[in-house]
Structure 1
Amino acid sequence: MHDNQPQDVAPDALPDVITRYLNAHRTHDTASAISAFHPDATVIDEGKTHQGSSAIETWLTRSATEYTYTIELTGAQEVDAQHYITTQHLEGNFPGGVVDLHYRFALSCGLIEELLIEP
């Protein structure tokens, strides 16, 4: 747990690796998105854990093809130098049609070590 209170930051103040991932994810560029992750990174989305490059690549590919949706970055926060939270607004043909999700990033060695996606 972090005692630090998240501080709002401008989206362009996010670390490059997070911006690269978010842009690649928005354009369904799986190769660029996967390059932002540490080889043994963990992604937790919809309560499921995806560990390692091949599992994350499968998750990215599935999420890009399962539904059609738009993603808009609506907020960014810095917890500390290695932990960031972004808020993404999604609209599309998934159940509910509209959702705001928090992407909680943990960085290590300039790459994403962990990504937790939750409402």
Structure 2
Amino acid sequence: MAHDLPPAIAAYVAANARLDAEGMLAAFAPRAVVLDDGGRHEGREEIKAWIRRATLDSRAVFSPKAWRDEDGRIVADGLTTSDFSGSPIRFTFRFRLEGGAIAALEIA
């Protein structure tokens, strides 16, 4: 499924599957914003810290099952498996792309 996502999102998903923080970070634009679990993470340093805390610490891997273009955003639905209680959990990732990179990501 990830192979037909836009390239920056496919790269993010592939790096996430490998738990590769640098690969995940590389998919983001320098001034990107991530909204997750009530927090706002802006810019590479904050996003890098978020990746470590939200993904690597719990070994969280998002596997998109379906995606669609919705008002200029790519909306991907799927399961996240991890070491946290209740895994797997269904999440929706909303991506906004600019210049071939992820400019914004909202996770719900």
Q: Calculate the TM-score normalised by the size of structure 2.
A: 0.88
Alpha carbons of structure 1 residues 39 and 70: separation in structure 2 relative to 1, 3 Å: closer
What is the match of residue 64 of structure 1?
55
CA contact (8 A) 2:28 2:101 kept: yes
What is the match of residue 94 of structure 1?
84
The 5 A counterparts of 1:1-119 are 11-79=2-70, 82-118=72-108
Structure 2 gaps of 5+ residues are none
Taking the aligned partners of 2:105 and 2:95, their CA distance within structure 1 comes to 5
Structure 1 position 70, deviation (Å): 4.4
The size of the alignment, in residue pairs, is 108
- CA RMSD in angstroms, aligned pairs only: 1.7
Q: Give secondary structure in 1 for the equivalent of 2:92.
A: strand
Q: Calculate the TM-score normalised by the size of structure 1.
A: 0.80
Q: Give secondary structure in 2 for the equivalent of 1:12.
A: helix
Please say which structure displays the higher CA radius of gyration: 1
